[in-house]
Amino acid sequence: MKIILSRLVAVREVPVFLALLLVLIVTGIANPQFVSASGAQDIFLGVAVIATLCVGQTFVITMRHIDLSVGSTAGFTAYMIGKVSGDHHGLGISLLVALAIGLLVGAVNGFLVAYLRLPSLVVTLASLWIVRGIFNQVAGGNTITDNQVPSALGYLGRHSFAYIPYIFIIAFALVLFASFIMHSSRPARDLYAMGSNPPASELAGIPVIKRTFFAFLASGAVSGLGGAILLARFHSADSNSGLGLELNVIAACVVGGVAVAGGVGTPYGALIGALLLQSITQALGALGVSQFWQLAVNGVLLISAISLDRYLTLRIKPTRILRVKS
């Protein structure tokens, strides 16, 4: 049984994908409105920000690290774009601001983790607070309102192409691009090696410090972009923006096959994980189940994903001493 299961799951993303299909089908039968075009649109809208942030988090988690600062960075970026550009500047300035903030945070995280070799849990927890603190100070009680959102972003956040929201398309494109990079670029392959067997990667001559630094840099940059998407999605931003987002992102990644132990997983897996979690949230509503169950269900899902992963990877062959009688 184990062997069949493991063959089936040789592609890590299969179980998540199947679960997603299951949710869609079951809910769709009970409530056809759920799988309608507008139902799908809601799901895509809900998932856009998280999906973007998952890209950066995947880089970091596959190396056996973690980045808790993504929510604060994204929120801060969202606010700053609004503040800096008002509504008369376009996409360019927005992206510049997003990248600047994101890269700065990522660089600091990366320096502390890669060069000083401080534990990433502690470093990114600290930067989560520091960024949130600076953010709150800068924002005060202000809110970025609709008319301060750059028109290009505002447009993207409100409109869709064939029922698929533009922001989701952007997120999706980013996920595809990142997946391609993680599959085909040499430095990214090193990340997998580093997460799979840290001591062996040093021996294999992989430049661990450099790779770690750049992965955090990338995560920061992506968080910045996530902030732009956040602003586009909600047409507003205040000091609460992005609060708690990091845990949702990590949950989506883990459910999507990016194991916390590192070495495995892809951005598109994380995307499917995010879609699954979002679908369940909305499925509960569509099925008439009180939405209050949503968080609990997410929790159970996460625990199941971790357990399943452990069960399937426990295939290490034990040492043999007795000669096989063959």
Partner 1 sequence: MKRAIFGWDKGILVFLVLTTIVGSFVTPYFANASNFSFVIQDIGEFMLMAIPMTFLIIAGEIDLSIGSTICLSSAALGYSYRQGIPFWLCLVIALVVGLLCGLINGILVTYFGLQSLAVTIGTLALYRGLCFVLLGNQPVNQMPLSYTDLGSNSIPHTFLPYVTILIFIFGAMGWIALHYSRLGRWTFAVGINVEAAKFSGIPVMRLKLALFAMTGLMAGVAGIVYTFRFASASPDGATGYELSVIASVLFGGVSIAGGVGTMWGVLAAVLELGVIRSVLQLINVSANTLLVVSGGLLLLSVAVPRAIEISRSRRKLVSIEKKG
Partner 2 sequence: MVTEAVPVLTISGATKNFGGVRALNGASLSLFKGEIHALLGENGAGKSTLLKTLAGVHRLDSGEIILDGKVFHEGSTKLAREQGIAVIYQEPNLFPDLTLAENVFAGRQLQLNHGKFVDWAGMQSAAQELFNQLGVPLNPRSKARGLSIADQQIVEIAKALSLNAKVIVMDEPTAALSSKEVERLFTVARGLAARDAAVVFVSHRLDEVFELTTRITVMRDGATVGTGITLDLTEKDVIHMMVGREISDLYPKIVTTPGRVVLSVKELAHDGLFENISFDVHAGEIVALAGLVGSGRSEIARAIFGIDKYTHGTITMNENRLAIGSPSESMAAGIALVPEDRRQQGLFMAASIAKNVSVTVLKRLQRGFWLQSKSEERTATSWGETLELKYADITDPVERLSGGNQQKIVLAKWLATKPSLLIIDEPTRGIDVGTKAQVHRLLSDEASKGLAILMISSELPEVLGMADRILVMREGVMVQELSRSEATSEKVIAAATGAVTV
User: By C-beta, is 12 or 132 nearer to partner 2?
Assistant: 12
Total site size for partner 1, rule CB under 8 A: 45
Residue 201 interface partner, choices partner 1, partner 2, none, CB cut-off 5-8 Å depending on type: partner 2
**184 exposure class (CB count in 10 Å sphere: 0-12, 13-18, 19+):** exposed
Range 175-234, binding partner 2 (CB under 8 A): 183-187, 189-190, 192-193, 195-197, 199-201, 203-206
To partner 2, the closest distance from the beta carbon of 318 in angstroms equals 6
Range 30-89, binding partner 1 (CB under 8 A): 66, 68
Range 275-279 contact pairs with CB under 8 angstroms and sequence separation of 24 or more: 275/20, 275/43, 275/47, 275/51, 276/16, 276/19, 276/20, 276/23, 276/301, 277/248, 277/251, 277/252, 277/301, 278/43, 278/46, 278/47, 278/50, 279/20, 279/23, 279/24, 279/27, 279/43
Structure token pair of residue 111: 């320096």
User: By C-beta, is 196 or 236 nearer to partner 2?
Assistant: 196
To partner 1, the closest distance from the beta carbon of 152 in angstroms equals 30
Q: Is 251 in the site for partner 1 (CB under 8 A)?
A: yes
Residue 326 interface partner, choices partner 2, partner 1, none, CB cut-off 5-8 Å depending on type: partner 2
Q: Is 173 in the site for partner 2 (CB under 8 A)?
A: no
To partner 2, the closest distance from the beta carbon of 165 in angstroms equals 31
Q: Is 88 in the site for partner 2 (CB under 8 A)?
A: no
Rounded Cα gap, residues 304 and 255, in angstroms: 8
User: By C-beta, is 90 or 244 nearer to partner 1?
Assistant: 244
Q: In the 8-state DSSP scheme, what is residue 292?
A: G
Work out the number of other CB atoms within 10 angstroms of the CB of residue 143.
16
To partner 2, the closest distance from the beta carbon of 204 in angstroms equals 4
Residue 307 interface partner, choices partner 2, partner 1, none, CB cut-off 5-8 Å depending on type: partner 1
CB-facing half-sphere around the CA of 138: CA atoms within 13 A: 20
Of 48, 55, 128, 153, the residue at the interface with partner 1 (CB under 8 A) is 128
Of 45, 100, 260, 312, the residue at the interface with partner 1 (CB under 8 A) is 260
Contact, 165 vs 44, CB < 8 A?
Answer: yes
Q: Is 307 in the site for partner 1 (CB under 8 A)?
A: yes
- The separation between CA 140 and the C-alpha centre of its own chain, rounded to angstroms, equals 28
Q: In whole angstroms, how far apart are CA 252 and each of 267, 269, 302?
A: 10, 9, 8
Stretch that binds partner 1, among 73-81, 130-138, 142-150, 196-204 (CB under 8 A): 130-138
Q: Is 196 in the site for partner 1 (CB under 8 A)?
A: no
Amino acid at 94: S
At residue 241's C-alpha, the angle toward residues 126 and 217, to 5°, is 50
Rounded Cα gap, residues 277 and 47, in angstroms: 9
- The separation between CA 162 and the C-alpha centre of its own chain, rounded to angstroms, equals 25
Which of 111, 64, 33, 91 has the alpha carbon at shortest distance from 229? 91
User: By C-beta, is 54 or 193 nearer to partner 2?
Assistant: 193
Residue 213 interface partner, choices partner 2, partner 1, none, CB cut-off 5-8 Å depending on type: none
Contact, 121 vs 112, CB < 8 A?
Answer: no
Binding site for partner 2 (CB under 8 A): 183-187, 189-190, 192-193, 195-197, 199-201, 203-206, 263-264, 313, 315-324, 326
Binding site for partner 1 (CB under 8 A): 66, 68, 112, 116-119, 121-123, 125-130, 132-137, 244, 247, 250-251, 254, 260-261, 290, 292-303, 306-307, 310
